[in-house]
Amino acid sequence: MSDTTPNSAEPASQAPTSQAPTAPPVAAKKPFTATHHGITLDDPYAWLRDPGYPTVENAEVLAYLNAENAWFEARMEPHRPLVDALFKEMRARIKEADKSVPQKDGDYLYWVEFEEGAEYKKWWRRPVGAADDGSADQLILDEVALAEGCEYFRLGAFSVSMDGKLLAYSVDDNGSERFTARVKNLETGELLADTIPGTLSSLVWVAGDTGIVYSLANEQWRTDNARLHWLGKPLAEDVELYHEDDEGFRVGSGLSANEKWLIISTSDHETSETRLVPAQAPLTPPILVKERQKGVEYEADERDGTLYILANDTHENFRLATAPLASPGEWTTLIEGSDEFYITGFDLFRDFYTVEGRLAGLDQIQLRYYDDPARIEPIDFPEASYTAGLTSNPEWAMDVLRLSYESMVTPDTVYDYHVAERRLEALKVQEIPSGYDADAYETQRLEITARDGTAIPVSIMMRKDRAPGGPLHLYGYGAYGISIDPGFSTTRLSLVDRGFAYAIAHIRGGDDLGRAWYKAGKLERRTNTFTDFVDVAKGLVERGLTQPGRISISGGSAGGKLMGAVINSDPDLWGAVVAHVPFVDVLATMLDASLPLTPGEWPEWGNPIEDKAAFETIRSYSPYDNVGAQAYPPMLVTAGLNDPRVTYWEPAKWVAKLRELKTDDNELLLKTNMGAGHGGKSGRFESLKETAEEFAFILWQMGLEG
């Protein structure tokens, strides 16, 4: 590739100076073409991908990213008082010195605590029956100490051995999602010599706490293995228990609910396969539950020689089946699949089992009994729109279940459900120190008809005294069958208390209304996701809830792709747009099988390498490929230099192309976290600062800064 003349007398590849910039950077354009299916793609910003990735050291690339960051800082500088005010009020809603409700696991009660001003938490325990006066409390892991001196910190796996004497945990200190696993002796406080770098998995204790099963991330950031590490032995002696040959599949491990079996699973976005190995004898040849069949997803657990299998083989909304352990592939239906009830999961306990799912898009939890299949006990909740689910229930013999509940107006509430009494006991309600009056707010669940006649659910929160037609923030995701639940957010109040309605569009591509809802927004039907979002916005205008140009929108990752698509199609609707780590260079990424996620993503988006129809479909909506010479709304875009999911160059290239082609003078800002990954900055307050910046940008661009 050779340089061409940039569209500016002062290309952004110059090293940043201490003087604030007075104009946005303009990236150099360099000729680069690629031909697929007889079609030549021109990508003059392809050079922004450092050839040494995942190491990014190219001076010109770094200079451009730093220039964009300098422009972001310069443009946001006059609005720092608003950022600071937003951050202050967001922080005031957090109870800084806080702790979780202790939960029993074996001989101990476990909980986590945040101390005043701390970014990270501490993990504690005390023996069951000991006095709750602090005298028997044991600090087993201190994230604050581990994170000291790190620009980024994230705890990955956390697993206490079955005898309670050892703790296996893993840490990522740069956002690359390559974790280093360590083992701590909880009786002495010392770290064992065992260190496993490059993990991307849970850490599972086996063989009487003498071994740990884990998965390594390979060079393409794919977990294609399950490995066994014997404590005290060198890594070179670790045993590969399973290797996955399909580059699109990922491997993960866990224990059965009764802790008798090591469960090794491998899957992509539409197909899965499971093996069971005796946890006490992990070198035993595995039991294959059923060979993979394209399009069939299943998961399994075991009780008293019977397998329980959740599978979508007979109904897309899944059925629950059983099979003898001796004949694991012979499945008999226990709970039929249903168009109405979408089964999302199950948990086995000694005396009963639970089934979780959604009915008309709302969470359901049912208790069922092994000896009486007709006995079904749903747990009832008080509101018309909410999200609820089981949380930490680590023991096999449970008679009280721990669960969480919240809605858009109800703070997170921790409950114990007393099984025998069928009674909910509230243990803790999220405290908001600065005050919160739920009666000042209302929530609605609407249905807005899309252009093809499909009713799209929308969850909305606003103040009861909000003026009609005011500003509205619309959030969406719509991919991978991930639902966006109508939960509570303390940060959201900073918009709502300034007159915004806050809406969540439950668009196709998520599984909010079941698997059919997911399938209606993937592959060749992907554009339904984008048109649903636009139609929801227009429907909210028609209902008088807002007006064109008074709608701010946001989404991240695949939701960032959504942002890119809807600004191309309907730019005049939006008053401000925030795209976090946006997956916008879809075609180029799906054409590059060497990238970490690409092979595993083909079932979601299509394989444009082999399938010309998939190539054309992706090309038709890929935001980067469809940037045009038109006016665009004000935009804030974020990226993470170490992000392995959406590589930094996707948002960087997108912004560069937008700067080149857009015909408006609206703000376009790119902020790249140079020491973080997909989730932005770590730490509970550092992440709040980024939300404060996002909201300040929205208020500034919507003319509501005062």
Active site residues: 557, 643, 678
- For 102, residues 6+ apart whose C-beta sits below 8 A from its C-beta are 109, 110, 111, 126
Element (H, E) at 574: strand 574-580
Residue of 394, 319, 434 whose CA lies nearest to 128: 394
The answer to whether the beta carbons of residues 237 and 251 sit under 8 Å apart is: no
The alpha-helical segments, DSSP class H, found in 622-679 are: 649-661
Computed from CA positions of residues 143, 145, 146, 149, in that sequence, does the dihedral angle turn out positive or negative? Answer: positive
Element (H, E) at 415: strand 413-418
Residue of 565, 556, 560, 552 whose CA lies nearest to 627: 565
The SS3 of residue 598 is: helix
Which residues lie across from 671 on neighbouring strands?
A: 638
E-state strands within 476-546? 501-505
Q: Strand 353-359 to strand 341-348: parallel, antiparallel, or no bridges (unpaired)?
A: antiparallel
Q: What amino acid is encoded at 543 in this protein?
A: R
Element (H, E) at 239: strand 239-243
Which residues lie across from 142 on neighbouring strands?
A: 122
Tokens for 489? 């957010």
Mutual angle of helices 59-76 and 649-661, in 10-degree steps? 70
The answer to whether the beta carbons of residues 36 and 593 sit under 8 Å apart is: no
DSSP for residue 51: T
What does 162-228 look like in DSSP terms, one character per residue? TTSSEEEEEEESSSSS-EEEEEEETTT-PEEEEEEEEE-S--EEETTTTEEEE-B--TTS---EEEE
Question: Residue 181: is it exposed, middle or buried by C-beta count within 10 angstroms (0-12/13-18/19+)?
Answer: buried
DSSP for residue 100: P
What does 63-90 look like in DSSP terms, one character per residue? HHHHHHHHHHHHHHGGGHHHHHHHHHHH
Residue of 336, 243, 332, 226 whose CA lies nearest to 282: 226
Tokens for 511? 């599984």
